[in-house]
């Protein structure tokens, strides 16, 4: 039994959901999202809750059960409060600035890195060493944060690079004479 799949998804006030076949559409103050579930699960709406149940006891049906419920819950959270990822930049001369629709990164390369900001996501740099990514799509926010971090992942000797806020970097000891 899926412990995640058993719990129904509550719809807060101001959020509407429509189910047609296997497609769920959620609309709220921060936008609208839709998701098409596989034929292994059944999605039902009762008053202000959405419940997902498996159509069989196969392994695939049980996998899709929990995953579908989580996707629907993320859509509801996205249209109400949204998602946010924060990145920290560590390193001498490493900085970030938002200019129009691009994020300019100085990361110790011989050139500046121009990262185009995709639609559906807002990127801000409150400080030169901080980047805040916000949006209503959990997958898109996480992917944009991962793509930015990929330009200079934190290294274990000095800890320089782009890390998630609160991420612990295991430090290694350097060479000894």
**Tens-digit pLDDT profile for residues 96-127:** 999 999 999 999 999 999 999 999 899 999 99
Q: What would the mean pLDDT of 42-67 be, rounded to a whole number?
A: 91
So what's the pLDDT on residue 71? 93
At residue 2, does pLDDT exceed 70? no
pLDDT band, residue 175 (cuts 50/70/90): confident
The rounded mean pLDDT for the chain is 92
Token readout for 154 is 């934190």
pLDDT band, residue 176 (cuts 50/70/90): confident
Q: What would the mean pLDDT of 60-84 be, rounded to a whole number?
A: 92
Residue with tokens 């990822």: 85
So what's the pLDDT on residue 47? 86
The full set of domains in the chain, from first to last, is 3-80 (3.90.930.12), 83-164 (3.90.930.12)
Smallest Cα–Cα separation from 24: which of 6, 11, 5, 7? 11
pLDDT, tens digit, 9 for 90 and up, residues 124-174: 999 999 999 999 999 999 999 999 999 999 999 998 999 999 999 999 998
pTM of the model: 0.86
Q: What would the mean pLDDT of 45-51 be, rounded to a whole number?
A: 91
Compute CA distances 161 → 58, 89, 129, 144, whole Å: 44, 6, 10, 16
DSSP characters over the chain: --HHHHSPEE--TT-EEEEETTEEEEEETTEEEEEE--TTEEEEEETTEEEEEESSSSHHHHHHHHHHHHHHHHHHHHHHT-EEEEEEEESTT-EEEEETTEEEEE-SSSS-EEEEPPTTEEEE-SSTTEEEEEES-HHHHHHHHHHHHHTTPPPTTT--EEEETT-----------
């Amino acid at each position: 039994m899926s412990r995640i799949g058993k719990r129904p998804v509550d719809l807060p006030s101001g959020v509407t959901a429509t189910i047609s076949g296997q497609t769920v559409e959620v609309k709220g103050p921060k936008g609208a999202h839709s998701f098409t579930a596989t034929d292994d699960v059944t999605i039902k709406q009762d008053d202000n809750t959405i419940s997902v149940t498996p159509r069989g006891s196969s392994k695939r049906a049980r996998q899709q059960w929990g995953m579908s419920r989580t996707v629907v819950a993320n859509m509801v959270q996205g249209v109400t409060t949204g998602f946010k990822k924060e990145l920290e930049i560590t390193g001498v001369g490493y900085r970030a600035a938002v200019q129009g629709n691009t994020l300019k990164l100085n990361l110790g390369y011989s050139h500046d890195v121009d990262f185009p900001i995709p639609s559906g996501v807002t990127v801000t740099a409150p400080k030169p060493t901080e980047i805040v990514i916000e949006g209503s799509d959990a997958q898109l926010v996480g992917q944009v944060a991962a793509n930015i971090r990929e330009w200079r992942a934190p290294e274990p000797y000095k800890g320089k690079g782009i890390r998630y806020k609160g991420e612990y970097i295991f430090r290694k000891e350097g060479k000894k004479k």
